[in-house]
Structure 1
Amino acid sequence: MRFLAIDSATLSLSLALLEDQTLISEITTNTKIKHSTQLLPLIQTMMETVGWQPEDLEGVIISKGPGSYTGLRIGVTAAKVLASTLGIPLYSVPSLLALAANIRAQKSLVLPFFDARRQTVFAAAYLKDGQAWTALEEVKHGAFSDWLASWEDRLDDYDQVYFISPDLASYESALAPILYQHDHCHLAAPEDRIIYAHKMVQLPLQLEDVDTFLPDYAKLAEAEENWREKNPGHDGENYVERAD
């Protein structure tokens, strides 16, 4: 099958064309240029470069979050439009698992996270055994210190442990005592700290309903959180920000 894979969950943007699990072309950027201005032109450039037409695609793979609200909306919207227009399947992969896939060790505990501002993170935990991945906990949003503390007493249960994040530089001081006390714990190499779209085809793919699929934000938008605080007892399903 010929796939287009899209990741726009963080500052980086990665797009790949694959035939089965063979990488045909990939473009990955890690800049502050808005995904909304890059995504579609880069897809067009890749397709033209390899001589593919949109009708040649047989599936779209999207990293579904968590991550940047805006980035996720842009990527998911593009993926849904392409899948719907072309009448092809839409598949999703958790963004933190897509990041964890950069770890090459055959057997290890992988602890991926994204910064979520104010010293909070989106975080997960995966056990890698060869090509198999097992989620050890649900994706969480909370204080980085709490998440790290929840794992500190369990790290010695694993032969190798890897922390991986695009935002590792901001948390290295907090991780330093862990690395000092546990020599089997490591930080991912700098080149492995962003998502590469071609990795997603190697992971378990979730077939999605194109009409109902939504990103996994893992938390409410700040505006909706503020609205709920001001409107207790409402579930937020009909949340609309009103400007008078």
Structure 2
Amino acid sequence: MKILAFDTSNKPLSVAVVVDGEVLAHVESTEKKTHSISILPDIKNTLEESNLTINDIDLIAVSKGPGSYTGVRIAVTVAKTLTDTLSKKLVGVSSLELLAANGDKAHILVPLMDARNDNAFAGVYQNSRDNFVSIMQDHHTSMEKLFDALKQYDESQLEFINATPRLQELIQNQFPNAKIITSENSLPDAAKLAKLAETKKPVENIDDFVPTYLRLTQAEHDWYAKGHKDNGNVSYVEEV
């Protein structure tokens, strides 16, 4: 199977072409460009390096969030457009599950995305027969609440992934024996994204495929704060 995979949920942009498990081309872009500018050229260059065209691709794999609101929207929009236009299959993978793939398979994996003010997007995963099983649903939470939920596990088995300096400080204070992989050492990897996508069911209805944000955008928060209600008749999106 020929897979084009890309992730824009974090600061780096990662694109890979993987054919039958072999990585033919892999681009990691950390340049100070917006993902909207660089994603299509990076996809083009990756395909050219693989001696393939977009029409040769069987499956498109994309990180669907959570993460940067803008970044996630860009990747999902590009994926849906390519899928719909070219009649390809599409698989969306949790951005947190992708981060978990950077961890030690023997540990209980806690991928994080710093959401500021001692909050985070977090999930808890365990590896089972080379598949990552979610044992705590991806969610937006305070680190305090996350730590309370993790006290049921032996801290020496915990491995926190993608910890910023502030999150690392909080983790070390609470779980001094836990393993921590910093943000610099756990960047999202599109080649790993392609591998994860191989085990997942393709999206059935492209129109229904949307980013996973896990919390309201600031605009939505402000809209609801003004007294608007999402009661099934008029939602924020419909009103805008």
- Which residues of 2 match residues 137-148 of structure 1 at below 5 A? 137-148=136-147
**1:70-109 Cα deviation digits (max 9, x unpaired):** 0011001111111111111011111100010011x33220
Label 1:31 to 1:18 Cα distance change in 2 as closer, same or farther (>3 A): same
Any stretches of 5+ residues in structure 1 without a counterpart? none
- Name the % identity: 29
Give distance in 1, aligned partners of 2:31 and 2:175: 29
Q: Return the match for 2:159 from 155, 158, 162.
A: 162
Structure 1 window deviating more from structure 2 (65-74 vs 40-49): it is 40-49
- Which residues of 2 match residues 44-193 of structure 1 at below 5 A? 44-103=44-103, 105-151=104-150, 153-156=151-154, 160-165=157-162, 167-180=163-176, 182=177, 185-188=178-181, 192-193=185-186
- Which letter does structure 2 place at the counterpart of 1:144? M
Residue 117 (structure 1) shift: 2.5
Give distance in 2, aligned partners of 1:139 and 1:74: 21
**Helix, strand or coil for the counterpart of 1:219?**
coil
- Which letter does structure 1 place at the counterpart of 2:164? L
The answer to whether the 8 Å contact 2:17/2:24 transfers is yes
Give distance in 2, aligned partners of 1:31 and 1:148: 34
Any stretches of 5+ residues in structure 2 without a counterpart? none
**Helix, strand or coil for the counterpart of 1:4?**
strand
Label 1:54 to 1:202 Cα distance change in 2 as closer, same or farther (>3 A): closer
Two-structure CA RMSD over aligned residues (Å):
2.0
Is 1:205 the equivalent of 2:200?
yes
Residue 45 (structure 1) shift: 1.1
Label 1:119 to 1:56 Cα distance change in 2 as closer, same or farther (>3 A): same
Residue 159 (structure 1) shift: 5.9
- Which letter does structure 1 place at the counterpart of 2:41? P
**Helix, strand or coil for the counterpart of 1:162?**
strand
Residue 127 (structure 1) shift: 1.1
**Helix, strand or coil for the counterpart of 2:215?**
coil
Label 1:130 to 1:188 Cα distance change in 2 as closer, same or farther (>3 A): farther
User: How many residue pairs align between the two structures?
Assistant: 235
Residue 210 (structure 1) shift: 1.6
Give distance in 2, aligned partners of 1:126 and 1:31: 31
Is 1:196 the equivalent of 2:189?
yes
